[in-house]
Amino acid sequence: MHSSYPTTSYPEFRRAAASRPGRGGRGRAVTARAAVVALLAGLSGCSTIKHTAIDQLGDALAAGGTTFAADNDPQLIQSAAPFSLKLMESLLAERPQHRGLLLAAASGFTQYAFAFVQQDADELLEKDFAAGSALRDRARRLYLRGRDFGLRGLDVAHAGFARGLRTDPRATVRSATAADVPLMYWTAAAWGAAIAQSKDNADLIADLGIVEALIDRAVELNESFDAGALHGFLIAYEMNRPAGAGDPEGRSRAHFARAVTLTDSQQAAPFVTLAESVAATRQNRAEFEQLLRRALAIDAEVRPEWRLVNLVMQRRARWLLGRLDELFLPPLAPDTPAVTASDAPAPPDLISEHPAPVASTSSSPTP
């Protein structure tokens, strides 16, 4: 998003175009899925032809286009995406080592969870805590599903990679190459977002070192990946990095500057992430508002390939602007003793708010 901000390509907002139902086309989606099932059933007698057909369909889904990413109707994509995701899972059941599909599933589930489940949960918590909490649990499960697809994809190229992350993550990631960066990013984004939704799960929180190893190695291999997606993640993460060198805020701002440069100031996500991760934490209300208004000022039509992610992040910016009195302490009256940091409202979640499971437009084999 990293909150952080899982950042962009929802289910695949770009890649699932091949299976996207039309407006009001739920029946069309069901028909398409039935056609796929019929095709696979008809080919059951010849495994070679069947596998070839599945591979070709999987390649098409994994390669995708920009249809989802360029859409101007987030609700339409919210309705269409589940079919695409379940289709990917169906194909992976037949071809479990299709790396392109594993990447598409990892990024797709992560982005869907952030854009259409976590944001709804965050807004609902204010009105109905029980219902909002249940929705956050759903987001966590979807993030973990995305993480597991990412780990499977990494294992395809590097046998035992997932197991090695559990024993020595820093040594294990050294075997990764530039070709692995998309899977490393989406695996880390999904894992980090799940951790942010699981503050009562000590075992999951203990995995934060694995997330850090994956992201740091990805930056070494291709720091400009997906128009600054890695830097977008790190804007939020640096404020909570254990034993990080130097000033956390300085590191976060450096990643923000790089993300803005790589997106030519045309993505809302870096502005929203800095507002949540730094300005809110430092109780800098003026900067918080300035950053969010800057995000809202971005014209989503200028870069059509980022249209959807900008609309998603602008929705979050408007929601945050509506919570100013909850996030910030009122100005001190004259002669009022200063409050300590412990008196301030709790800052946004570390990786959950991060427009990172929303990445730019592409992410491997397509994002």
Selected from 1.25.40.920, 3.10.450.50, 1.10.238.10, 1.10.3720.10, the CATH number assigned to the domain covering 15-329 reads 1.25.40.920
In this structure, the number of other CB atoms found within 10 A of the CB of residue 158 comes to 16
Record the tokens describing residue 169, joined without a space.
């993550």
The DSSP output letter for 15 is G
8 A C-beta contact, residue 216 and residue 348:
no
Q: Cα dihedral angle (225, 226, 230, 232), rounded to 10 degrees?
A: 150
SS3 content of the chain, % helix, strand, coil (to 5): 70, 0, 30
d(CA 61, CA 84): 9
Tokens of 52: 């070839």
User: Using one digit for the tens of pLDDT, what is the confidence trace for 76-130?
Assistant: 988 989 998 998 999 999 889 999 999 999 999 999 999 999 999 999 998 999 9
Residue 258, token pair as written in the block: 């790089």
Q: Where are the domains of the chain?
A: 15-329
Residues 29/83, Cβ–Cβ less than 8 Å:
yes
Is residue 185 a contact partner of residue 145, using CB atoms and an 8 Å limit? no
Q: How far apart are CA 83 and CA 100, in angstroms?
A: 18
Listed residue (349, 355, 361) closest to 113, CA to CA: 355
Give the model's confidence band at 330: pLDDT under 50 very low, under 70 low, under 90 confident, else very high. confident
315 three-class SS: helix
The 10s digit of each residue's pLDDT in 8-44 is: 333 334 333 333 333 444 444 444 455 555 555 555 5
| Residues 223, 185 contacting (CB under 8 angstroms) | no
pLDDT in tens, 157-204: 999 999 999 999 999 999 999 999 999 999 999 999 999 998 888 999
* Cα distances (angstroms) measured from residue 20 to each of 91, 102, 188, 234: 16, 19, 27, 32
pLDDT score of 132 more than 50: yes
Torsion of CA 188, 304, 112, 74, to 10 degrees: 160
Q: Determine contact, residues 174/147, Cβ cutoff 8 Å.
A: no
What pLDDT does residue 363 have? 41
Three-point CA angle 141, 144, 146, nearest 5°: 115
